[in-house]
Structure 1
Amino acid sequence: MNSLIPLIGMTLGQLQQVAAECGMPRFAAKQMCRWLYEKRATDISQMTDLSKPAREKLAKRYTIGIEAPLSQAVSADGTIKYLFRGCGGRAVEAVYIPDGERATLCVSSQAGCRMGCTFCMTGRYGYQGDLTTHQIMNQVLAIPQSLSLTNIVFMGMGEPLDNLDAVMQAIEILTAPWGLAWSPKRITVSSIGKMPQLQTLLSQTKVHIAISLHSPLTSQRAEIMPVERAFPIKKVLETLRQYDFSHQRRLSVEYIMWKDVNDSPRFAQSLARLLDGLECRVNLIRYHSSGLDTGEPQCSDTETMEYFRDRLNQLGITATIRTSRGEDIAAACGMLAGKPDNTDSKEQNI
């Protein structure tokens, strides 16, 4: 096993420590940042503005750390799902979604998930561990389309706020002038509403927020999302109301629709009441069946979803139906599950 420490995923401050350890001047950290995040070096030998002795010393303990995907699967709609080395014996997935001039990457923050949402494939396989900042950033930097990405969404495997330190460090690298220098408006973090981590994210970053709601009824939400018992959605929304979502930052509410479960006019009315006065957009999402449980609910039909959308708009809540992407390769919302590291993939090896 490679014992070298990856540089990808390190902040400027951490690289300053590396520079000091290797006897380099403090400014060498910014030089390393340029090679890692701007010039996209793949080997320490390419860092030619560092002295040769410094590069040799650096290479004895460190490596760039770019790890290519293990495999990929390509959807008929152009979506590509990449499989990466994870942790705890389970690989993780990232999904590239091209859409005109927009190119979005959905990244994972954990191998598995411990939130236990009944409708999510990731949660069904349990929790195997947190990804490091290196593993998160590697998903962004290692895919062939890395340089053309316009947006990042933390909506892959895992609850991002359950691995807050690594996610916050990744956001710092994505947005810092010494990193990728992205606007935070290009980044969205999705959460079930884990507190107080949500408050930390809101206070310390300007990224967009997406909250998984899925039912406006407390008892029903608690059945499908156990987190409701610990962090009731009403209290989560109270917290969100303390922040400004009218200008630079956007708030989305995610709502999966199930036939005869949460798609009636009564639910539209309850949802509108719950969100009244909150500047947000509701994304109505088609339910994607796992095929593993014959008793699982079915997705609402298109006519019902369109009525639900229109009713929310009539009630003053902006709502849209999210286009489903990558369902044929199990890359759509709620379908990411990774694979055991020792299991052969039917996907195309890279």
Structure 2
Amino acid sequence: MAFRSVFDYGALRTELENAGISAHFIPLIWKYVLQNPICELDEVPSLPSSAYPLLRSKFRALTSSLSSAVDSRDRVTTKLLISLQNGTSVEAVIMRYDTRLGKYDGKPRPGGPRSTLCVSSQVGCKMGCKFCATGTMGFKNNLSSGEIVEQLVHAYRFSHIRNVVFMGMGEPLNNYAAVVEAIQIMTGFPFQLSPKRITVSTVGIIHAINKLHDDLPNVNLAVSLHAPDQDIRCQIMPAARAFPLGKLMDALQTYQKNSQHKIFIEYIMLDGVNDQEQHAHQLGSLLEMLKVVVNLIPFNPIGTKSCFRTSTEQNVRKFQKILRGIYNIRTTVRQEMGQDISGACGQLVVNLSEQRSVGSAGLLTDIEDLRI
């Protein structure tokens, strides 16, 4: 029998209310599980007596288990391999920053250590982006909201998490309802993450972008654009055929008008494909009507069969200079973390037959810096 995660809010609320038990007890249950992740639900104190047999028969504190945790050599990145009860696995990645290192705007930066968690929303992915290892898995299944939240619970065993980014396995907006519910749980008690420190990344699912602000008004949106015109996008991102660039830009303008938020644009740098000067000018022209931060991402090898090469540092810097200097677009180059443990952007893939991890996800420059 498959049990539901106690963090599957909709299912838990329905079961409790059908039994005449107030949903107000749910945060109490979550707080206890967060503090005691290997507990049995019988151990949660102060619940109505009728709640215990219901919880015991249908729910588990955690339906997933932590199979392994691997640290990078510099111990800045920790990659978690998490086994789900259906026999599949996903990865989540913890990235640690110290904001006091370096300067911002020529001045010492305030703050201190903080951690960002990169979570998965699906096992595999339908999008099939040719530069991303996850696409080689195909699509296996969606995660429930509880399975998404459980990645955060597992991560808390290693670090206090301040930011969450949906940049792991899967296309978050293809699992829309579960992702929305998971974020609502993360921003409520007892996790209480700020929605401004949560980022949802998408290849550009237009119909979902159109309702995202209404459902998650203060969450950040990141768009995996990766090319300045539709033809190149379709070559490297087959799913882009369903989301024409013109219509995507219209959706982003509407989203920004309603939200008044910056939009993060992710752009992987592929040598000779999308990294030339004319591509920088095309991208600048495409984006100059929006308030965006462009994050240039060095391509990470995803195996010997890949036909792509990493752009030269000279091309990356030239690309950045054009966007900044001519189009006045804030442009950063992604700080890669965890490459020595296959923990860098685009490398995430889990070999389901052997249940071993051969990659993971990376992250952009600290999201809190980009919001400024």
Normalising by structure 2, we get a TM-score of 0.84
Please state whether the residue corresponding to 1:278 is helix, strand or coil: coil
Counterpart CA distance in 1 for 2:62 and 2:279 is 48
- Residue 147 of structure 1 deviates from its aligned partner by 6.0
> Closer, same or farther in 2 for the Cα pair 1:31/1:18, shift >3 Å?
farther
Work out the CA distance in 1 between the residues paired with 2:316 and 2:356: 38
Q: Does 1:329 align with 2:349?
A: no
Q: What is the aligned counterpart of 1:194 among 190, 195, 205?
A: 205
* Aligned counterparts, 1:272-283, within 5 A: 272-283=284-295
> Which SS does the other structure have where 1:171 is aligned?
helix
User: What's the CA shift string for 1:141-196, capped at 9, x where partnerless?
Assistant: 112446610100000001001111111110111123x4522221010000000120
Unmatched 5+ stretches in structure 2: 99-112, 360-372
Counterpart of 1:110 (choices 96, 101, 122) is 122
Q: Secondary structure at the match of 1:324?
A: coil
Query: 1:245 touches 1:251 (CA, 8 Å); kept in 2?
Result: no
Alignment of 1:196-235 (within 5 A): 196-205=207-216, 206-235=218-247
Of the structure 1 ranges 296-305 and 240-249, higher mean CA displacement relative to structure 2 is found in 240-249
What is the TM-score of this pair, normalised by structure 1? 0.89
1:107-159 Cα deviation digits (max 9, x unpaired): 00111111111111000121111111121111111124466101000000010
SS of 2:315's equivalent in the other structure is helix
What is the percent sequence identity of the aligned residues? 33
DSSP-derived class of the 2:351 partner? coil
Question: What is the CA RMSD across the aligned residues, in angstroms?
Answer: 2.6
Is contact 1:109–1:131 with CA below 8 Å preserved after alignment?
yes
Match of 2:64 in 1: 67
Equivalent-residue separation in structure 2 for 1:317 and 1:10 (angstroms): 40
2:233 and 2:259 map into 1 onto residues whose CA distance is 30
- Answer yes or no: is 1:250 the counterpart of 2:262: yes
User: Separation in 2 of the partners of 1:27 and 1:324?
Assistant: 42
CA distance in 2, matches of 1:154, 1:255: 16
2:282 alignment partner AA: S
CA distance in 2, matches of 1:333, 1:346: 13
Q: Distance in 2 between matches of 1:37 and 1:182?
A: 14
> Secondary structure, in 3 states, of the residue corresponding to 1:83?
strand
Are the equivalent residues in 1 in contact too, given 2:66–2:81 (CA < 8 A)? Answer: yes
| Structure 1 residues not aligned, in runs of 5+ | none
* 2:131/2:308 contact within 8 Å kept: no
Shift of 1:56: 4.4
Tell me the matched-pair count: 342
Change (3 A) 1:241 1:57: closer
Structure 1 residue 80: Cα displacement: 1.2
Q: Which amino acid aligns with 1:58?
A: L
